[in-house]
Amino acid sequence: MRETTAGPLPISAPSFRIFLAGRTVSELGSRVTREGLPIIAVLLLHATAQDLSWLAGLSYIAALLASPLSGVLADRTRRRPLLVASDLLRATLLGALTLLAFANLLAFWQLLAAFVLVAALNTLFDVADQAWLPGLVGVAQLPQANAWLSGASALGETGGPVLMGLLIQFLGGPLTILSDAVSYLASAITLLQLGASESPSRSRQAAPGVTASALAGLKALWRHPLLRPLAMAAALISLSGGVFDALYAFFALRVLHLSPFLIGMLITGGGVGALVGSVFAPLAARRVGLGRAAVYGVMGYGLLLLLVPLAPATPLLAFAFLLAAQLFGDLLATLFGFAEAVLRQSVTPEGWLGRISGSQRLLGNVLGAAGAFAGGVIAGPLAVRGALLVAAVCALLGLVWLLRSPLPGLRAAPAAEPGGFPA
């Protein structure tokens, strides 16, 4: 039985609206930090492409190490306290970073340490959130709830980068970081206002050790005919994303000579695409089926990603190429993310939600870290443009896993089958 308050919340319930409002504010601030810290590192701390490779790579490793533990915790304890603790700790870390920046004491290693710790806490929050959602709204409302949360993420990506660009360009780095700290506090406050009386998962009883429990989740994911290809497609996108995380800001600033404000506008274009995608994804999934929606999402995203390394050096044309990749690429990435989340949450039994989500993120973070470090290495012999081209091709390789699975013929999410998971 999935955990609940006084029964699953209808999407129109005030409690769900409070939850959604907190997520929207948090997403807005998160985008400011995620996109802004690498730019702050380049402009204020004179970071190189190799420095940004370390920044992205170590954040992936932190998320990698946090993934299995987060999954076990989300299956053994109440999930809302994990969400609140993650918000408060992230606010504290970014608040400390803000003070250092205001005092002109900020060094690259301090920014790196904060970025890495926040990445680990992001993983804990996301895994617990994914495990909590089915019990909060009910399995029948997962498509609608995920569509609303995709919209919140898209709103954050739409407004966050513009705010980031304006803050960095006109007010400097400290206020940029401070805005995210405040957003995490707001998220924690909204979660505390929900007043949900949540029951611990039944997997807490007679539970095996943490390592054995985490390994069981990884094995269950790998053996599942639907979860495995979805996880591998997402992991290959993470491999590509690791390279882009390491090199995109450097490429835009130093190769294409775009300003921080224009970079913020580009990322906002991605947010607009994701926002449209959050509305489009449920409709497309009903039209073509969840399985094909996942396939089309990966295919379109990978093809559009090729526009980034193919962008000409002329700033106006470069902006147009990157804007198309952000706008339409993020729309199709949202389509895949929506289909993947609904399928994963639907086919996974209650006691496995945290570990399956954690295992999926573990695979993604392993390849994401590899991509981030590889980006800094291959940018030397291939140049930054060549490294991004290789990364775009990697994203397309996820199609191999999807097309060789039952997903192309799957229209709706099957019900969870506890018999397919170890007792």
pLDDT in tens, 319-339: 999 999 999 999 999 999 989
**Is the pLDDT score of 1 beyond 50?**
no
Output the pLDDT for position 199.
54
Query: How far apart are alpha carbons 170 and 164 in whole angstroms?
Result: 10
Q: How many CA atoms lie within 13 A of 247 on its CB side?
A: 32
Token pair listed for 325 = 């990749």
Specify the CATH number for 14-194+210-415; select among 1.10.357.10, 1.25.40.340, 1.20.1250.20, 3.30.420.40.
1.20.1250.20
Non-local (6+) Cβ contacts of 14 within 8 A are none
pLDDT band at 183 (very low <50, low <70, confident <90, very high): confident
Q: Which two tokens stand for residue 351?
A: 């006691």
| Neighbouring C-alpha atoms within 13 Å toward the C-beta of 259 | 11
Q: Span 12-31, mean pLDDT? A: 75
Least confident among 115-129, 138-152, 255-269: 138-152
**In this prediction, what percent of the chain has a pLDDT beyond 90?**
19
Q: Are 323 and 272 in contact (CB under 8 A)?
A: no
DSSP code per residue over 20-74: HHHHHHHHHHHHHHHHHHHHHHHHTT---HHHHHHHHHHHHHHHHHHHHHHHHHH
Lowest mean pLDDT among 105-119, 149-163, 344-358: 149-163
Asked if 20 contacts 147 with a C-beta cutoff of 8 angstroms, the reply is: no
Q: Which of 385, 52, 142, 356 is nearest to 231 (CA)?
A: 356
Spell out the residues 6+ positions from residue 135 whose beta carbon is closer than 8 angstroms to its own.
2, 3, 4, 8, 198, 350
Q: What's the gap between Cα 202 and its chain centre?
A: 28
* 315 touches 257 (CB < 8 A): yes
Locate tokens 């690429």: which residue?
Answer: 329
pTM for the whole thing?
A: 0.68
Boundaries of every domain in the chain: 14-194+210-415
8 A C-beta contact, residue 411 and residue 290 = yes
Kindly state the tokens that stand for 73: 């915790």
pLDDT at 354: 80
- Answer yes or no: is pLDDT of 114 > 80: yes
Please calculate the CA angle 158-161-166 and round it to the nearest 5 degrees. 125
pLDDT higher than threshold 70 for residue 161: no
On the CB side of 287, how many CA atoms lie within 13 Å of its CA? 8
